[in-house]
Chains A and B, each alone.
Chain A
Amino acid sequence: MSQKVIAGITLDVNEEGYLTNPAQWTREIAKEIAREEGIDLTDKHFLVLDFIRDRQQKGEMLTIRSVGNSGITDIKGFYQLFPGAPMKKAAKIAGITKPASCV
C-alpha cells in the first residue's frame, strides 16, 4: 500500500490511486481528486458522491444503473457529470474502493 498527500493530508491509497480508508475522505479531498480528473465538483456531483458512499457503506451492490435509479440523476446525466467511466471516476472521487460490480 502506498500513500499520497491530497489537500494537505496524507492518505492511504492503492496502486490505482483509490483511497483504501473511506473514513479519511473529506469534501476538500474530493475536490482535489476531481481536479486531477478534470472535473469541477458541483452540488449535484456531491449528491451522487454521498449516494455511492452510503451504498458502499451498507455493503450493497453499486452499478451505473443503481446511480441512474437513485433519483439524483439518470444514467446519461451520470455520464455527463463524470465523463468516460463514470462509476470508476465517481468511486475514486468519493474515496471508496473501486466497486467490484460483478465478481
Chain B
Amino acid sequence: MKKLLILGAGTGGTIMANKMRHALDPLAWEITIIDQDNRHYYQPGFLFLPFGYYRERDVLKPRDRFLPSGVRFLVGKITGIDPEQNKVFLSDGSALSYDFLIIATGTRIVPAETPGLTGPLWQKSIFDFYTAEGALALGRFLENWQGGELVLNLADMPIKCPVAPLEFAFLADTFFTKKGLRKKVNISYVTPLSGAFTKPRAAKMLGALLEEKNIRIVPDFYLERVDDEKKMLVSYDEREVPFDLLVTIPVHKGEEVIEKSGLGDEMGFVKADKNTLVSLSYPNVFVLGDAGNFPASKAGSVAHFQAEILAENLLCAIRQRPFTASFDGHSNCFIETGFGRGTLIDFNYETEPLPGVFPYAGIGPLQLLKETRMNHYGKLAFRWIYWDILLRGRKMPISNKMSMKGKKP
C-alpha cells in the first residue's frame, strides 16, 4: 500500500482528505489524517462570539464528522517531521511513514512574542478573538463594560483573515450603538499598515467606512511592547496609544514543528512554490492554507481554492508527470460592516479587489466593494455552505481561478 499522510484536519486538510479519497484507489492508497484534537472550529464565526451573536456550539463540530470513510483519523501531537526519511513523529513515540505528505497545520497566535501582552492584564483588559477561548472571554467582559478607550491592534502581518479586525471594529460600533453606550466608547484601529487594508481601492472604501463610523485609524504603528502599568501600546518608534480595553491580533506563526523540521521560514511557515504548492525542498511534500508562506491571504477561501490545485498537482506527482495546475492567489472574503450589512472582496496575486457583481456577471446577486444586506446574508449562509459543501470537497459555483467577469477595472 502507498501512503498519503495529511497533517492537520482543519479547512485545508479536511477538503484534501475528501478529494484524495475520491481520487485515489482505496486498494492501492492508504490515507491518514492527523490533528491534535477532534474539535473543528468554524473560524470565521469567532468574530460573532464576543458580541453574543453566536455561541460556541454554533462554531464547533467534531473533525471526524467531515472525513470520509476510508480515511484513518488519528488524534495526536506531531513532534517531528523528517522529510529526508519520509517520516512524521508523534508525542506518544510512534512514527508514521509516507509516500506523499500534505502539510495543512495552519497558523496560530503567539501573544508571548510581544513583551507585556500576556502580563497581568491578559484576559482582564487585553483579549484576543482569534481563539474560541479568547473570543468567549471577551464576550463575558463586554457584557458589563461601561465604556472607555477601545483599541484594536494588529501586532504584525501576516494574520489570519486580514479583514477580520476591520469587521470587529464595525461590529463593535453597532454593538455599542445598540447598547446606548457608543458615546462613551472611543474606538481606535491601530495597524502596522499605512491604511485600512493593503490593496488601494479596498483600503479607500474601508477607510471611508471607518471614518463614517467615527473609528480613528492609527496607521504605520508597529507594536514593540505593551506597558501594563500605564495601559499603553508602545511602538518601535516610541509612539504611545493608551487603552482601557485592548483587543489584540497577536503575532502569527506556523506550528513549532515546522520550524524544527527545517521546512519553514523564521516564522514557521512552510516554504513552498506559490503556484504549484509543492515544497521548495522536497518534491513529495505539498502545502496548503495558512501553513504556507505564500504571499496570499491566510483565509479559508484560499485553502479551499488551493485544494483543487493541490489535488490536481498531487495526482500529477503520483503519476510522475509535470504539474498541470497553478494557483493564482485567488481569495474571496465577506466583510461584515455592521447594522446588518456587508461587503465582499474577490482578488488574486495580481489583481486587487475591484467593484462589480459576484459570482455571475450582470446578475450578482452579491456586490463587490459595496455595502448591501444581501452580502450580509451571504456571509451568514456561508456557515452552512462551509460544513455541508466546502469541507466535503463538493463542487461550488465559484472557480478556483479569479474571474474578471462582473468586475469593473
In the complex, chain B residues whose CB is within 8 Å of the CB of A66:
265-267
Q: How far is the CB of A54 from chain B (nearest CB, A)?
A: 13
User: Does B157 interact with chain A (Cβ within 8 Å)?
Assistant: yes
> Which of B209-217, B291-299, B378-386 makes up part of the contact surface?
B291-299
CA of A102 to CA of B192, assembled, Å: 10
Cβ A83 vs Cβ B237 within 8 A: yes
Q: How far is the CB of A51 from chain B (nearest CB, A)?
A: 12
Cβ A65 vs Cβ B199 within 8 A: no
> Which of A1-9, A22-30, A56-64 makes up part of the contact surface?
A56-64
Known contacts A75-B236, A79-B237; A61/B295 CB under 8 A: yes
A to B CB contacts below 8 Å, 29 in the list: A59-B273, A59-B295, A60-B265, A60-B295, A61-B293, A63-B156, A63-B157, A63-B158, A64-B236, A65-B267, A66-B265, A66-B267, A75-B236, A76-B224, A76-B236, A79-B237, A83-B237, A84-B220, A85-B194, A88-B194, A102-B158, A102-B198, A103-B198, A103-B199, A103-B295, A103-B296, A103-B297, A103-B331, A103-B347
In the complex, chain A residues whose CB is within 8 Å of the CB of B224:
75-76
In the complex, chain A residues whose CB is within 8 Å of the CB of B347:
103
Cβ B237 vs Cβ A84 within 8 A: yes
In the complex, chain A residues whose CB is within 8 Å of the CB of B269:
61
Q: For window 71-103 of chain A, which residues contact chain B by CB distance below 8 Å? A: 75-76, 79, 83-85, 88, 100-103
Q: How far is the CB of B163 from chain A (nearest CB, A)?
A: 10
The binding surface of chain B is classed by DSSP as loop
User: Does A69 interact with chain B (Cβ within 8 Å)?
Assistant: yes
User: Does B287 interact with chain A (Cβ within 8 Å)?
Assistant: no
CA of A85 to CA of B193, assembled, Å: 10
**Considering only CB atoms, which chain B residue lies closest to A63 in the complex?**
B157
Interface residues on B, range: 20 to 34
CA of A59 to CA of B193, assembled, Å: 20
Q: How far is the CB of B66 from chain A (nearest CB, A)?
A: 28
CA of A66 to CA of B194, assembled, Å: 18
Q: How far is the CB of A6 from chain B (nearest CB, A)?
A: 23
Cβ B157 vs Cβ A60 within 8 A: no
User: Does B222 interact with chain A (Cβ within 8 Å)?
Assistant: yes
**Considering only CB atoms, which chain B residue lies closest to A79 in the complex?**
B236
Interface residues of B (CB under 8 A from A): 156-159, 162, 192-194, 197-199, 220, 222, 224, 236-237, 251, 265-267, 269, 271, 273-274, 293, 295-297, 329, 331, 347
**Which of A61, A69, A83 sits near B158, CB closer than 8 Å?**
A61
In the complex, chain A residues whose CB is within 8 Å of the CB of B273:
59
Interface residues on A, range: 10 to 19
In the complex, chain B residues whose CB is within 8 Å of the CB of A79:
236-237
Q: For window 30-66 of chain A, which residues contact chain B by CB distance below 8 Å? A: 59-61, 63-66
Extra A-B contacts (5), CB below 8 Å, given A79-B237, A88-B194, A102-B157: A69-B267, A75-B224, A84-B220, A100-B198, A102-B193
In the complex, chain A residues whose CB is within 8 Å of the CB of B198:
100-103
Q: How far is the CB of B134 from chain A (nearest CB, A)?
A: 21
Cβ A102 vs Cβ B293 within 8 A: no
In the complex, chain B residues whose CB is within 8 Å of the CB of A84:
220, 237
Which of A59, A65, A103 is the most central at the interface, judged by chain B CB atoms within 10 Å of its CB? A103
Q: Which 5 pairs from chain A and chain B are nearest by CB?
A: A101-B157, A102-B157, A69-B266, A102-B162, A102-B198
Cβ A64 vs Cβ B266 within 8 A: no
